[in-house]
Amino acid sequence: DLLVVGSANADLVIGVERRPGAGETVLGSDLVTHPGGKGANQAVAAARLGARTALLARVGDDAHGRLLLDSQRAAGVDTVGVLVGGAPTGVALITVDPSGDNSIVVSPGANGRLTPEDVAAAGSLFHASRVVSAQLEIPLETVEEVVRSLAPDSRFVLNPSPPRRLPAEVLAACDPLIVNEHEAKVILGEGAAGVSDEPADWARLLLAKGPRSVVITLGAEGSLVASGEGVTRIAAVAVDAVDTTGAGDAFTAALAWRLGAGASLEEAAAYASRVGAAAVTRRGAQDSFPTAEEVGAL
Ligand code: ADP
């Protein structure tokens, strides 16, 4: 089984002709509200593929929290670990201009109140999970407690987004650490200075920081898998991309699920590439995630 520990947000989207300046008001389109947040997205992506999935997260006791619980349950996610209350549900206020550029303000809300104590109290979810997947839209102390709570034979997958420097204890637990180019640069910090723009070189430098394995996602260029056994390039699946929102979440969820099912890292990444490719052929995040049948048909 897969346990996702992470954020759940309501994404509130308004189309605008142009963004307001300070003190100014502009009129926009009708509001569209989507369930989102990297934790919630990963859980839905995995469950839609057929993975037995649970989510450990926190939402507010409000309409956005109910929207998130409903979307998780509709996808078949076990929500026994979704805690309610303590702060309003996390929100992303998104304006989109006619060129498609986004401006986003995030209020972490209840995501910021998912505490190490909440993780410690969820021991039974950890014991039932072969793979635990996390991101960084919750407090870092909470992610540190996740690492300490792993069952002895379970595997930890981390997508450090939004990226920040990580403690050695967290890095050492990652198998794999999954990063895009921007996240790789932040994790490498000063180590990124003077490095070639060859992703295989970053992968080796990232491995030297302690994770057991590393995956670098490269959008339409596919991905790269690195472990003690070497670096392997995983080809992208050629599709007509419509919207890349959520591709990374779909990729990570699919990879974590396949690893839990016994696939090698290369096999899991090849499957995840197909899932990421399917997700970019449709608009939205959770709405774009494919079923296993749709992945098979690709
Ligand atoms: P992130 O959203 O975290 O930056 P990427 O954009 O690298 O992640 O996407 C994750 C994965 O999804 C890629 O490694 C690739 O397998 C797949 N993917 C993303 N964009 C495309 C695309 N345009 N065509 C085919 N596959 C894609």
Pairing of strands 9-15, 32-36: antiparallel
The first and second tokens of residue 58, run together, are 């926190």
What's the pLDDT at 250?
98
The answer on whether 137 is annotated among ligand-binding residues is yes
Task: Name residues contacting ligand 1 (CB within 6 A).
Answer: 180, 217-220, 222-223, 236-237, 239, 241, 244, 247-248, 251, 273, 276-277, 280
Paired tokens of 123: 């021991």
Q: Is 221 annotated as a binding residue?
A: yes
Model confidence band, residue 101 (pLDDT cutoffs 50, 70, 90): confident
Give the three-class secondary structure for 166: coil
Measured in Å, residue 264 CA sits from the centre of ligand 1 at: 20
Instruction: Give the pLDDT band of residue 23 (cuts 50, 70, 90).
Output: very high
E strands, the chain, in order: 2-5, 9-15, 32-36, 53-59, 82-84, 90-96, 102-107, 131-134, 155-158, 174-179, 213-217, 223-227, 230-234
Distance of CA 83 to the CA centre of its chain: 19
- Provide mean pLDDT across the span 96-102: 91
Per-residue model confidence as pLDDT tens digits over 122-137 = 999 999 999 999 999 9
pTM score over 0.90: yes
Q: Whose CA is nearest to atom 19 of ligand 1?
A: 219
In this prediction, residue 190 carries a pLDDT of 81
Assign residue 283 a region: left if phi > 0, alpha if psi is -120 to 50, beta otherwise?
A: beta
Q: Given this model, what pLDDT does residue 196 score? A: 85
Torsion angle of alpha carbons 83, 84, 88, 94, nearest 10°? Answer: 60
Percent of the chain topping pLDDT 70: 100
Is 39 labeled as ligand-binding? yes
Task: Delineate the domains of the chain, giving CATH numbers in brackets.
Answer: 2-297 (3.40.1190.20)
How many Å lie between the centroid of ligand 1 and the Cα of residue 136? 19
The per-residue pLDDT for 163 is 96
Q: Is 249 a catalytic residue?
A: yes
Going by CA atoms, what residue is nearest to atom 14 of ligand 1? 217
Share of the chain above pLDDT 90, in %: 95
Of all protein residues, whose CA lies closest to atom 3 belonging to ligand 1?
A: 248
Q: What is the ipTM of this complex?
A: 0.98
217-245 per-position pLDDT tens digit: 999 999 999 999 999 999 999 999 999 99
